[in-house]
Amino acid sequence: MPISRLIDMEDFQPIPEREKHEEFLRKVMEILFESVVFKARSDKVVLWQTPEKLKEMFDFSLMQSGETHEKLLLLLKKTIKYSVKTGHPYFINQLFSGLDPYGLAGQWLTDALNASVYTYEVAPVFTLMEDALIREACKMIGPMWQDGIFCPGGSTANGIAINLARFNKFPEVKKTGCFKLPPLKVFTSEECHYSISKFSSFVGIGDENVELIETDNIGQMKIENLLKKIEETIQEGNIPLVVVATLGTTVRGAFDPINEIADICKKHNMWLHIDAAWGGGLIFSPKHRAKLNGIERANSIVINPHKLLAVPQQCSLLLIKDKDILHSCHSKEAEYLFQKDKHYDRKYDHGDKYLQCGRKCDVFKFWFMWKAKGSAGFANHIDALMEVAEYLEEQIHKRAEFMMVSKRQYMNVCFWYIPRYLRGKSHILDYATQLHKVAPQIKAIMVTHGSVMLNYQPLQDLPNFFRFVSQNSGLGKKDIDYILDHISEIGDMLFE
Enumerate residues 456-485 that contact its own copies by CB under 8 A: 456-459, 464, 467, 474, 476, 478-479, 482
Of 60, 73, 59, 67, residue with least CA distance to 31: 73
Measured from the CB atom, the residue of 148 and 294 that comes closer to its own copies is: 148
C-alpha to C-alpha distance for 112 and 388, rounded to whole angstroms = 37
Instruction: Quote the least distance from Cβ 344 to its own copies, whole Å.
Output: 6
Binding status of residue 7 toward its own copies by CB under 8 A: yes
Instruction: Quote the least distance from Cβ 293 to its own copies, whole Å.
Output: 21
Measured from the CB atom, the residue of 111 and 266 that comes closer to its own copies is: 111
Binding to its own copies (CB under 8 A) within 383-422 occurs at: none
Binding status of residue 443 toward its own copies by CB under 8 A: yes
Kind plus residue range of the DSSP H or E element containing 22: helix 18-32
Q: Identify residue 338 by its one-letter amino acid code.
A: F
Binding status of residue 184 toward its own copies by CB under 8 A: yes
Stretch that binds its own copies, among 216-224, 337-345, 383-391, 415-423 (CB under 8 A): 337-345
Of 257, 219, 277, 244, residue with least CA distance to 413: 219
Of 450, 454, 460, residue with least CA distance to 438: 454
Measured from the CB atom, the residue of 98 and 294 that comes closer to its own copies is: 98
Binding status of residue 429 toward its own copies by CB under 8 A: no
- DSSP class of residue 220 equals P
C-alpha to C-alpha distance for 480 and 470, rounded to whole angstroms = 10
Q: What angle do CA 189, 190, 195 make, to 5 degrees?
A: 85
Binding status of residue 328 toward its own copies by CB under 8 A: no
From 145, 370, 402, 468, residue interacting with its own copies (rule: CB under 8 A): 370
Measured from the CB atom, the residue of 51 and 424 that comes closer to its own copies is: 51
Whether the CB-CB separation of 399 and 485 falls below 8 Å is answered with no
Residue 217, judged by CB atoms within 10 A of its CB (0-12, 13-18, 19+), counts as: exposed
Using alpha carbons, list the distances in angstroms from residue 124 to 107, 117, 150, 151, 282. Answer: 17, 9, 16, 19, 30
From 145, 148, 165, 199, residue interacting with its own copies (rule: CB under 8 A): 199
Of 244, 95, 238, residue with least CA distance to 159: 244
From 228, 322, 327, 377, residue interacting with its own copies (rule: CB under 8 A): 377
Stretch that binds its own copies, among 222-230, 260-268, 291-299, 352-360 (CB under 8 A): 352-360
Binding status of residue 237 toward its own copies by CB under 8 A: no
Binding status of residue 490 toward its own copies by CB under 8 A: yes
Instruction: Quote the least distance from Cβ 263 to its own copies, whole Å.
Output: 28
Binding to its own copies (CB under 8 A) within 32-61 occurs at: 32-33, 36-38, 40-42, 44, 46, 48-52, 54-55, 58, 60-61
Q: Identify residue 36 by its one-letter amino acid code.
A: V
Binding status of residue 299 toward its own copies by CB under 8 A: no
Measured from the CB atom, the residue of 10 and 496 that comes closer to its own copies is: 10
* x-marked contacts with its own copies along 246-285 as a string, rule CB under 8 A: ----xx----------------------------------
Of 306, 313, 311, 284, residue with least CA distance to 103: 311
Measured from the CB atom, the residue of 74 and 267 that comes closer to its own copies is: 74
Query: What three-state secondary structure class fits 374?
Result: helix
Binding status of residue 178 toward its own copies by CB under 8 A: yes
Binding status of residue 372 toward its own copies by CB under 8 A: yes
CB atoms within 10 A of CB 5: 9
Instruction: Quote the least distance from Cβ 120 to its own copies, whole Å.
Output: 6
Binding status of residue 381 toward its own copies by CB under 8 A: no
220 cis-preceded (ω within 30 degrees of 0): no
From 70, 175, 224, 235, residue interacting with its own copies (rule: CB under 8 A): 175
Instruction: Quote the least distance from Cβ 171 to its own copies, whole Å.
Output: 11
Rounded to a whole number of angstroms, the distance between the first and last alpha carbons of the chain is: 87
Binding status of residue 217 toward its own copies by CB under 8 A: no
Binding status of residue 341 toward its own copies by CB under 8 A: yes
Total of chain residues touching its own copies, rule CB under 8 A = 195
Residue 305 C-alpha from the chain's centroid:
7
Kind plus residue range of the DSSP H or E element containing 301: strand 300-303
Instruction: Quote the least distance from Cβ 205 to its own copies, whole Å.
Output: 5
Of 89, 97, 39, 101, residue with least CA distance to 476: 89
Measured from the CB atom, the residue of 229 and 477 that comes closer to its own copies is: 477
- Provide the H-helix boundaries in 399-464: 431-436, 438-449
Whether the CB-CB separation of 215 and 222 falls below 8 Å is answered with yes
Whether the CB-CB separation of 190 and 460 falls below 8 Å is answered with yes
Measured from the CB atom, the residue of 32 and 223 that comes closer to its own copies is: 32
From 259, 269, 293, 339, residue interacting with its own copies (rule: CB under 8 A): 339
Of 388, 403, 408, residue with least CA distance to 218: 408
Measured from the CB atom, the residue of 266 and 346 that comes closer to its own copies is: 346
